[in-house]
Amino acid sequence: MSIAELVERHHTTLEDAIAANRTRTFHAHWPEAPSGKIYGENANADGEAAFRGQLNNPFRGLLQGASNATVGEEASPYGFALGITYPSDNVDMLVNRASAAQTAWRSLAPDERASILTEALERASKRFFEIGYATQHTTGQGFVMAFQASGPHAFDRALEAVALGLDAQESFTSNVLWAKPMGKFEVSIEKSYRIAPKGINVVIGCSTFPVWNTVPGMFAGLVTGNAVIVKPHPGSVYPIAIVIAELQQTLSDVGLDVHVCQLAADSVAEPRALDLIQHPAVRIVDYTGGPAFGAVVEQKAHEAGKTVFTEKAGVNCIIIDSVQDATKALDNVAFALSLYAGQMCTAPQNIFVPRSGVRTADGRTLSVDEIAGLLRDRIDALVGNEKAGPGTIGAIQNPATAARLDEALALGLDVARASAPITQPGFDNARSFSPLVLRTDASRRDIFEREWFGPISFIVETDSFDHALTLVTDSVRQHGALTTLVYTTDPAKADLAEDAIITAGAPVAFNFDSFVWVNQSAAFSDFHGAGNNPAGNASFADLTFVTARYNVLGVRKQA
């Protein structure tokens, strides 16, 4: 297989992805349903068998050189240790190999890099079911969500970054004969333009979305000519290791150095993120994770003059002013609160309801008590659904997140809905809990403006819609947000909320009451992460997300 053959093979895929990025219409290269009719009748069984066969063994598939040292401390939130080990290379070794591999990689044309990366994604997509089980048992996501989030949805995000990077790099000609008229004669200069990648790109992953949050920066760095070192969270290595293994095999098959992309596994006891970030050869950093360490990453990167992209976390808010159908609206909110037990950076936390109540299309006004009761009932209906409930809620990735439930209860606030353990069929020791909903008023900003990661939310009674909107915009500016949601049937209020929230720096959704939830972010259409509030400075994927990873340098020759 030659690189030229890959360029021809994936030309249409990349052109379609570029077109989708421009038009922002629905586009999905990989189907999201974990269906045997789509992926093969034996795909699920084969994927689960591959997952089971990998347990308690060294990870197979990586081609990168490795020292004898290994690490591995993954444990399933469903109640068992994975027992998988990964090579543990020191920082200098990783950086030196990346520096050597980068020379040939950066010399390729953008479409050649994009085609190799697309080939790697296509190969890795054959392992979607294994990736799904690996994600389920490192993050706690229910299997269907794990399949989608780390499989088709994540891969579409990766392809989106590849297509955007290719489009940006090909947005101007690579060479031109420049002629300037000078009266009776002209002067001619041969000009060419070279893409100059900035250097090694370190991507730091998170524990809850080890593929979805990693591949945008990973593939944006690669398509723009940079070698990439992926440093996953010690608790969620397996899913992204599969992707890296398939990429390394693809690089090897076309005769390139596999160290263009490397896995840098570490442990909680001996973390390597800061060592990687502060290495002089590292010029670009992508980070997904908690705000505290994210602030350290930003500071260290900025002090060293590095380009840094962060997606941290904020306090996501909902305003319920008026609704067409209260049951449909609160069904939507209940699902958003329950999905993956609130462990999504896009999950809502604060629900602001005016003291005067919520108007409905049939002329009724529901009190705050009635809204709280209806929300409780809709969560109960979902949680009590034996088919949908356990898989929607999943398991808690980190024991500290589960402990936060007790911390929230100790606040002494009124309980609108109590949390309780959830039985996960087949996993008696799963760490799984349903949503806790507390009630308070606007005076307790010290409580509800703090991020309570996990299945914890607050119904906050406000003086009015305007009061609620002020609380939301203040929160966005001070604490950040990745999503906001407003329910109102008043067009004037909707316009006011849109302008105020966008100006504050967060995206906004209105009146969701069907099968789209505020938690979701669609590749090729939604810009995930505002990039201009304290929740993070990156957006998956606007042009800055790719163009900031390289410069364009000119070469001029007298004709």
In contact, 359 and 524? CB cutoff 8 Å? no
Element (H, E) at 168: helix 152-169
CATH assignment at residue 297: 3.40.605.10
Q: Residue 493 has what pLDDT?
A: 98
Return d(Cα 447, Cα 449) in angstroms, integer: 6
Q: Are residues 285 and 376 in the same domain?
A: no
pLDDT at res. 276: 97
Q: Which of 156, 122, 146 is nearest to 48 (CA)?
A: 146
Per-residue pLDDT at 550: 98
Paired tokens of 496: 């006011």
535-558 mean pLDDT: 96
66: pLDDT strictly greater than 80: no
Residue 555 identity (one-letter amino acid): V
Residue 551 belongs to some domain of the structure: yes
For residue 508, name the pLDDT band (cuts at 50, 70, 90): very high
Residue 13 structure tokens: 């895929």
Shared domain for 324 and 293, answered yes or no, is no
Read off the pLDDT of residues 228-258 as tens digits, 9 standing for 90 and up: 999 999 999 999 999 999 999 999 999 999 9
Give which of 54, 147, 131 is closest to 394, Cα–Cα.
147
* 107 and 226 assigned to the same domain: yes
Q: What is the sign of the dihedral through the CA atoms of 48, 50, 55 and 61?
A: negative
Q: Are residues 203 and 332 in the same domain?
A: no
* Number of compact structural domains in the chain: 2
Q: Are 418 and 548 contained in the same domain? A: no
| Three-state secondary-structure class, residue 415 | strand
Specify the CATH number for the domain of residue 431. Answer: 3.40.309.10
Quote the pLDDT of residue 68.
Answer: 83
* Count, residues in the chain: 559
Most distant CA pair in the chain, distance: 88
Domain range enclosing 60: 31-312+538-558
Per-residue pLDDT tens digits for 140-166: 999 999 999 999 999 999 999 999 999
Considering the domain architecture, whether residues 115 and 151 belong to the same structural domain is answered as yes
Q: What is the mean pLDDT of residues 70-99?
A: 97
Which residues are CB-contacts of 299 (< 8 A; sequence separation ≥ 6)? none
Q: Predicted confidence band at 67 (pLDDT cuts at 50, 70, 90)?
A: confident
Element (H, E) at 424: none
Return d(Cα 42, Cα 34) in angstroms, integer: 11
Q: Are 554 and 196 in contact (CB under 8 A)?
A: no
Percent of the chain with pLDDT over 90: 97
How much is the pLDDT for 385?
96
Q: Are residues 284 and 330 in the same domain?
A: no
Residue written as tokens 């799963």? Answer: 430
pLDDT grade for 273, boundaries at 50, 70 and 90: very high
CA distance 327 to 346: 22
| pLDDT score, position 530 | 80
pLDDT band, residue 467 (cuts 50/70/90): very high
Mean pLDDT for the chain overall? 97
SS (H, E, C) 301-326: HHHCCCEEEEECCCCCEEEECEECCH
Q: What is the pLDDT of residues 412-440, one digit of tens each?
A: 999 999 999 999 999 999 999 999 999 99
Structural tokens at position 266: 């570490």
Output DSSP code: residue 192. Answer: E
CA distance linking residue 317 with residue 483, whole number of Å: 7
CB-based contact 348:401 (threshold 8 Å): no
* Same-domain pairing of 55 and 192: yes
